[in-house]
A and B are shown apart, each in its own frame.
Chain A
């Protein structure tokens, strides 16, 4: 029943989400690679952040693909929440304290350079994770309900 559904690889619209994450990971990795190779000394903070964002996108992509395993499900949550906090904090700081982020990072101005996809993506990720709990977590939740 539900076990076969959750054990199978990602289905449906979740695959689109994974691809968008993978493209973001590729874009962020490529860009931060160039920034660090070329001009790291100009803006160490912004460019370190770019690299960190790229790594988190890679982890989130892997986490979504492997979310049917329990450990990875948790990792996906952590990565996506980190992204959401990152885009909100850096987005706000880049507007309020622009001198801190004169050089673009993925999250500057809420991801404007990436069509605001970084701002929208965590919301979709959280929605997907909430509706696709791994079987083990679901069974645990069910037994808790029974116990209560």
Chain B
């Protein structure tokens, strides 16, 4: 993992989470903006997948358990997809709140991934 990229990614996920939760609680249905914010989170996650595949071959191996890392990353990639699918099926304000909650969950999981990659001493 690349620390600055992960930090940018977490910041985007937190911002998307705040934006969608506030918009949802304000009564907004899922819009191009809230769904778009989650799409951006997903795009960054896919880039992270590519980074995580390449990094060990580029002299940046994980310090922690690679299996644990991939379970986190695999789960995180699924969350925005699930949330957006839900938002398209169920166009209510609560779907917008759900989009936000999932973005927060992605942010937390990214931080755990960074810890697994960087800090753990096996």
Contacts and interface: CB of A to CB of B under 8 A. Distances in A.
A89 interface: no
Interface string B65-92: 1011001101100110001001000101
B108 A33 contact: no
Interface stretch (B33-41, B53-61, B98-106): B98-106
A23 interface: yes
Interface stretch (A24-32, A61-69, A123-131, A136-144): A24-32
A37 interface: yes
Given A19-B86, A23-B105, A12 B65 contact: no
B75 A30 contact: yes
A19 B92 CA distance: 14
B86 to A, nearest CB: 7
B interface: dominant SS = helix
B101 A38 contact: no
B16 to A, nearest CB: 16
Given A15-B90, A27-B75, A37 B98 contact: no
Interface residues of B, number: 22
B65 A34 contact: yes
Contacts of A11: 92
Nearest to A18: B98
B14 interface: no
Nearest to A19: B98
Given A30-B74, A34-B71, A38-B67, 14 more contacts: A15-B86, A15-B95, A19-B83, A19-B86, A19-B98, A19-B101, A26-B78, A26-B79, A27-B75, A27-B105, A31-B71, A33-B71, A34-B68, A38-B65
